[in-house]
Amino acid sequence: MEVFLVRGLGDFAPHAQGWTESWHTLIRGLGRFDAGAFLAFEGSLRAELVSRGEKGACVLRFHGDDGTGVLSSAQSIGQIPLPPYIEAARKIRHDSEGVDDSDRYQTVYATSPGAVAAPTAGLHFTPELMARLEADGHQLARVTLHVGPGTFRPVSGEDPSQHLLDAEWYNVSPVAASLIEAARREGRPIIAVGTTVVRTLETLGRLGPIAPGQGFTDILILPGDRFQVVTDLITNFHLPKSSLLMLVSAFAGREPVLAAYTDAVARGYRFYSYGDAMFIRSEDRLS
């Protein structure tokens, strides 16, 4: 079976025999096992099945004897969960030899583990590009939103406003909050690199001035919603019927976005994680 780590419950507890730590997970191939069952992994890592929900959602209480915790164990015995289309692309692309997707599928500025997927818009940035941006006078503010699996679930039902997003953890430092709020107050552009940044900033913006802090957001942004903070957006091309595409349509207007997608398909643009990106400027948006 396959255990996909989603989010820790923050209850890491060391003890004389090692440690315990609980996680929300998605398990594929669990069969008929129910609460109380134990899973054995490579080495000494074990896990008790605490609860089992729908579509593979489970809570596991891990037990280890190396004193480090789940993430450290995953680094040594686990694998980076790459999107399935990247796995498929490995079989047909010409640069497969010598390419490490577990390293490539990560932004150069990532620091805090916890997301279940990389924020794809950030994959376009290199240290050299970021240095050039700062040299040209752009201020770079770093915020965190740990992408969860709910982000990728298609919007179902006739009324998108009834779609529920899983809560995702965010963190905005005092330095970042100060930079963003100053730009907002002075009417300067605030360019979000990716929809995860949009969701983080718009969550805080609906509360008032941008203030430092951390918490969880389940904000769903749909056409018709007003943006309080972000003025410009860099984003990849997203899947149909996704909450991400609806966010972009809310930002730039449904018809212009669909026209951009039509043009991208006609020109052979690449979509998804390693694909092309678009830059939506404030002057391009429908008022």
The predicted structure's pLDDT at residue 286: 64
Non-local (6+) Cβ contacts of 226 within 8 A are none
Do 249 and 198 fall within a single domain? Answer: yes
Do 217 and 279 fall within a single domain? Answer: yes
| Model confidence band, residue 92 (pLDDT cutoffs 50, 70, 90) | low
Other C-beta atoms closer than 10 Å to the C-beta of 222 total 14
> Is the residue at 45 inside a domain?
yes
Angstrom CA distances, 262 to 20, 242, 244, stand at: 51, 17, 17
Angstrom CA distances, 85 to 28, 92, 148, 272, 274, stand at: 18, 11, 18, 9, 10
Q: Looking at the 3D structure of the chain, how many domains does it have? A: 2
Both tokens assigned to 263: 């043009």
pLDDT 10s digits, 140-162: 999 999 988 887 788 887 888 88
Give dist(CA 267, CA 7) in Å, integer: 39
Do 55 and 18 fall within a single domain? Answer: yes
> Is the residue at 31 inside a domain?
yes
Cβ(240)–Cβ(196) below 8 Å = no
The predicted structure's pLDDT at residue 263: 94
Instruction: Residue 34: give the domain boundaries.
Output: 2-78
> Is the residue at 93 inside a domain?
no
Do 110 and 244 fall within a single domain? Answer: yes
> Is the residue at 119 inside a domain?
yes
The alpha carbon of 36 is separated from its chain's Cα centroid by a whole number of angstroms, namely: 31
> Is the residue at 243 inside a domain?
yes
Do 156 and 261 fall within a single domain? Answer: yes
Do 27 and 138 fall within a single domain? Answer: no
pLDDT 10s digits, 264-276: 999 999 888 888 8
Helix (H, G, I), strand (E, B) or coil at 28: strand
pLDDT 10s digits, 2-14: 999 999 998 989 8
pLDDT 10s digits, 202-248: 999 999 999 999 999 999 999 889 999 999 999 999 888 889 999 99
Do 150 and 56 fall within a single domain? Answer: no
Do 120 and 64 fall within a single domain? Answer: no
pLDDT 10s digits, 57-89: 999 999 988 768 888 888 888 888 877 777 666
Nearest to 121 by CA among 282, 278, 280: 278
Do 69 and 208 fall within a single domain? Answer: no
Q: What angle do CA 50, 83, 156 make, to 5 degrees?
A: 75
pLDDT 10s digits, 162-214: 888 888 999 999 999 999 999 999 999 999 999 999 999 999 999 999 999 99
pLDDT 10s digits, 121-133: 999 999 999 999 9
Other C-beta atoms closer than 10 Å to the C-beta of 249 total 19
Do 42 and 126 fall within a single domain? Answer: no
> Is the residue at 96 inside a domain?
no
| Model confidence band, residue 103 (pLDDT cutoffs 50, 70, 90) | confident
